[in-house]
Each structure stands twice: as C-alpha cells, then as structure tokens.
A and B are shown apart, each in its own frame.
Chain A
Amino acid sequence: MGKSHTENPNRSSLFLPLLFLLVAGIILAVFLGRYPKAGFTSLRLFVEDPLARRILLTLRLPRVLLSVLMGISLAAAGSVFQLIFGNPLVEPGFLGVSQGSAFGAALAIILWGHSLLQIQILSALCGILGLSLAYVISHKIRFGGWLLRLLLSGIAVSAFFSSGIGLLKYIADPLTQLPEITFWLLGGLSGTEWIRVISVLPLLIPSLLILLALRWKINLLTISDQTAFSLGLSPGRLRALLIICSTLAVTAVVSVSGIVQWIGLIIPHFARILFGVDSRYSLPGSLLLGGIMGLLCDTLARVILPGEIPLGIVTSLLGAVLFIILLSRKGTNYR
C-alpha cells in the first residue's frame, strides 16, 4: 500500500467519470424524444423553434431531473437499508412504505380523481403512516430480535395496505379510476412539471444530506449493537434517524413516481462492487449509479415505443437482468 491510506485512489477516482456520465446523460435525454419526430431534437431547432424550446425546458427537463432524483433516493435508501439491516436483499419499500404510499395514491384517486397534488400528498402521508405502523407494531411483537420484529411487522403492514388497495380497486370505477390506479401502481413520471420536481425537494434534500453526512457512521450499524455501543454509539438512535431519513427520501419520490421497484435493491450491490463496502464511498457511489439508472430507465420508458411504457415495467426488466448478471458473477459471496 502507498503512504497515504486516507484516500483510496481506486474508489474516489470513479466518482468524477460517473458524475460526468450522469450530466452528459441528462443533457442527451433532454434532447431525446419525439418532437418533431422520434430521435434527437437538433440544437438549431432548440434555438429557432419556441415550441421545441418549451417542450424541452418545461416538459422534458423537469421529468429528466425527477427521474434522476428518483433513482438517487431509491438507491440511497436501498444502500442504507441493506447495510443497517445486515441483509443484501432488503429494499427501501419493505417496511410498509411502498404499499402505504400505493394505498394513499389509490385512495386519493377514488376520492378526488386525477388530481396530482392530492395523490402526492396522500401517498406521502400513507407512506409515512406505513413506516410508523411498522415501527409501533414491532414493539408489540414478543419474538426475535429487533431486525426480525421490524421485518415481520413490515410484512404485516404491507399486507394490510395491499388488502386495502385490493378493496379500493374493487370499488373503483372501472372506466376512469381503475386504469389510473393500475397505471400509478406500475410507476411512471409522465406529466411531470417543474412544480412536482420542486415539491419533492423539501423532503428529499435534507434527508439525503443527513444520510451523506453520516455516511461513515452507517458502517457502525453493520456490527452488533453491543459492539457499536462499546464504540460510544447509541445504535438505536442512529438507526432510527437513518431509517426515517431513508424512508422520507423514498416517500418523497414514490409519491410522484408511483411504485418503482428494483432500483433500490440492485444499485447498492453494484455500488459496493465498484466502491467497496465502506459506506463512506459506497453511499455516494450508490447515489450516482442510482441517478444514472433512474435516468436510463425513464428515458427508455419514454422513447422506446410511440406511447409511454410504465416505468415499473422497464425497471423490473432491467433490474431482473442486472440481478442475474450480479448473481452469476464470479466471486459473489453472500452469507
């Protein structure tokens, strides 16, 4: 090893290229679409045609940015969850958050129809309610350690909300409300405007900043609680803070994107492969990779077919392929 251990050159040197890739991807994605025909909008058109400019700046740019934010927060939450739950197969939605958000959105659709603001608010509230319920119930369970208790109550809360979603779908108007609910459940960012991008920021930015600020400390929750305590930590308090921040970040984006699976599960693995397990590197790495993945999936969902493909379909397809690649990779060792 060299003289200075503080910076591992192999790891931090990847940040800049990935950031460059992300920024380049954002610019390319903004110019990619179906105006005036499928393909890239030329720079000349952008300068000369006011309609092209409007499409790019008020429709595509906010959507592209939201897809990046979505990927960032799902991957960040997934990274944190996998480390602190000591389980590489955990994803951010598993504490009742995803099903809670979905229930909230379906309820809003039944109550107010196609009203994005109401859907977003109720979905976020129910996502937070899901987490709170899982937390409260986990304290009632007289079985197993905290991890198992939280997991079991998360399963129970998710089942509770799924049954609620089933009921709402059953009573929904099959011509207007039901397709809307189904579409929301498959995830998607169509119709994104600047106001929606801005509306996720108050929850998203502080949550992500706290996670990033504590990124080295997260490592301390992968060891046993007694040892973490012996290292001067209050493991329960730190864990609660990290779970709340991760969940808020996820709830913020899920309330506008709908259920988007796999990004939060798969990206943290690639981040750990590229940057090592130490969350000082793997967490920022996960954010960057998540942003790229979110951008890639949403761009594919937007441009592959003349009509829009629900985002959840694209992320599941890509996610499954990446998952198989990951598991068949040489040297994979999960215990």
Chain B
Amino acid sequence: MKEDPAVLLSDVSFAYGPEKSIISSLNINLPRNSATAILGPNGTGKTTLLHLMLGWLKPRQGRILLLGRDLDAWDGASRGRTLSLLPQKEPVNFEYTVLEYILLGRAPYLKPLQSPGAVDFKIATNALRLTGLEEMENSRLPTLSGGETQLVLLSRSLTQDPDILLLDEPTNHLDLKNKHHMIELMSKFKQQGKTIIFTTHDPDLASSLADFLILMGNHGLVLHGSFQELFTGENLTNIYGLPVKILEIDGQRKVLVK
C-alpha cells in the first residue's frame, strides 16, 4: 500500500478579498520524510500557503489532506500532535521564563483542564538541551536576543513533538552562527523521519536542506517539483524578475545575481 503524503493540496484556491487572488488551482504533493522549501519574492503568498497547510486559513476551493485525511476532519488536539507551526515572529508581552513558555508546546497532549506534569517538563527540558538553551530555562523571554528567541520558538515546536514542522522564515534575523545551528536542527529533525516545510528568502537555506521546491511568483505563478530540477537560474530569474545565475561550490548550489 502506498503511504499517504504528509501534505496534499488538490485544486486549492485562496483569495483574501474578491479581487486579491493569491493561489489558484494549486496541486501539490509533499511526501513524508522530506524537506520542502517555499521560495519567492515578498507578497506572493508564501506565509498564506503555510497557513493553509496548517488549517488556520480555509481554501476557497479544493481540499487539503494531512496524512491522507481532510484537514477539516482533524480534531484540534490530534492536529496539534501532528503538525506544528514555527511562526515568523511571536508577540512577547510578558516576562515568561523560557521553560514556562516552551511548555505551552505540550497543550495538544493535555486534557482540557490539565496542566503540564513531570513528563511534560522532561520533554521540554530535552528540547532545550537539543537547541542548546538548557542553561537558559529560567531566563525571562524579553531579555533574550533575536536569535535566542527564535531558538526558544523552535524548542516549543520540538516540545510539541510533531510529525510535520511548518517553519515561516526560520533563519530571518539570525546571525551566521545561529543560522547554521538552526539548519543543523532542522536537518536533525528530518533525519528522525519527520517532514519539514519552510518558507524562506534565503536560497542558501533552501539549497542546503530542501528535497522539494515550491517557487511562488507574482500573479499566482507557482512552480512545484524536485529541488534538483527546479532550482535553476532560469526559474529563479523568472520568479524574481532579476537575472540570476546558479554556481556550484563544494556540491552546494549558490545563487549569484548577475
């Protein structure tokens, strides 16, 4: 029996208003245990596509299947145990400690009136160890740097222990070292047999992780396929409207604007 894909979009259209069509008749099949990069200029609907896959936005037309089941048929808690979103940014209005904050990731595993217990604390501290923040569990969120905050958000998603991780521009605002760390963690996550789908402005990030590519251009233009095939100078030139050349350095493809 063939395994159901992690995420399947069939004939999906979405618009914010009557005029503003973002996505039309999109068909995408993302297999399990794969990494997919969503690449494209600002305002082409990358985050919108991610929010559609999350189920937060509902398609105007078409269906989205998560592990073979219609997103609408999932109850919140089981969806939360399967799929996690690492948002681009997150409001931090209060001085939560890092540990308190990432424990929120345990919500889909708790009964309606339950609070996190010893098992949840263990999972949360494990996630902190993975991201290298174990020394910071009692630090207050507003005192952290942008890079540390991003790693806290990732720790929360890991605490959620999902099969599929959606990341919205995960390496934005990260310095070189933190960016490298983030890429490492993402690839480690994939090695555990899980699926990652991420938007990015950074072709290097896409190139170091992705098996599949979704290129989103203006006027609803979407290209989807294997990374090897799609990540070409010609396609990127079309999508960004800018002459682009691809160089191969040490087996990695790098983008050069001509």
Contact = CB atoms under 8 A, between A and B. Distances in A.
Interface in B79-117: 79-81, 83-85, 87, 90-97, 99-100, 104-105, 107-108, 110, 112-117
Interface residues of B, number: 45
B115 A5 contact: no
Interface string A187-224: 00000000000000000000000000111110110111
Contacts of B78: 232
A233 B107 contact: yes
A312 B78 CA distance: 49
Given A5-B125, A227-B90, A335-B92, A216 B99 contact: no
Contacts of A234: 76
Nearest to B99: A5
Interface in A295-317: none
Given A233-B107, A234-B76, A333-B142, A224 B91 contact: yes
Contact of A224 (B90, B96, B110, B142): B90
A5 B83 CA distance: 27
A6 B118 contact: yes
A205 to B, nearest CB: 17
A229 B121 CA distance: 22
A332 B115 CA distance: 28
Interface stretch (B22-30, B49-57, B185-193): B49-57
Given A213-B113, A333-B142, A5 B91 contact: no
Interface in A73-108: 83, 86-88
B80 A230 contact: yes
Chain B CB within 10 A, most for which of A220, A225, A234, A278: A278
Interface residues of A, number: 34
**Chief secondary structure at chain A's binding surface:** loop
B4 interface: no
A6 B87 CA distance: 28
A233 B90 CA distance: 16
A223 B91 contact: yes
B81 A232 contact: yes
Contacts of B56: 225-226, 229-230
A283 B100 CA distance: 15
Contacts of A4: 118
Contacts of B55: 229
Contact of A272 (B83, B84, B94, B105): B94
Contacts of A87: 93
A278 B99 CA distance: 10
A214 to B, nearest CB: 7
Given A224-B90, A233-B107, A277 B121 contact: no
Contact of A6 (B84, B85, B121): B121
A233 B108 CA distance: 8
B138 interface: yes
B91 A86 contact: yes
Contacts of B256: none
A227 B77 contact: no
B117 A6 contact: yes
A226 to B, nearest CB: 5
Contacts of B148: none
Contact of B142 (A220, A230, A280, A335): A335
A276 B97 contact: yes
Contacts of B142: 333, 335
A219 B104 contact: yes
A47 interface: no
A87 B94 CA distance: 9
18 contacts: A1-B138, A6-B116, A6-B118, A86-B91, A88-B94, A214-B113, A219-B104, A220-B104, A227-B87, A230-B84, A232-B78, A232-B79, A232-B80, A233-B107, A272-B95, A276-B100, A333-B142, A335-B92
Interface of B: 51, 54-56, 75-81, 83-85, 87, 90-97, 99-100, 104-105, 107-108, 110, 112-118, 121, 125, 137-138, 142-143, 160, 166
Interface of A: 1, 4-6, 83, 86-88, 213-217, 219-220, 222-227, 229-234, 272, 276-278, 280, 333, 335
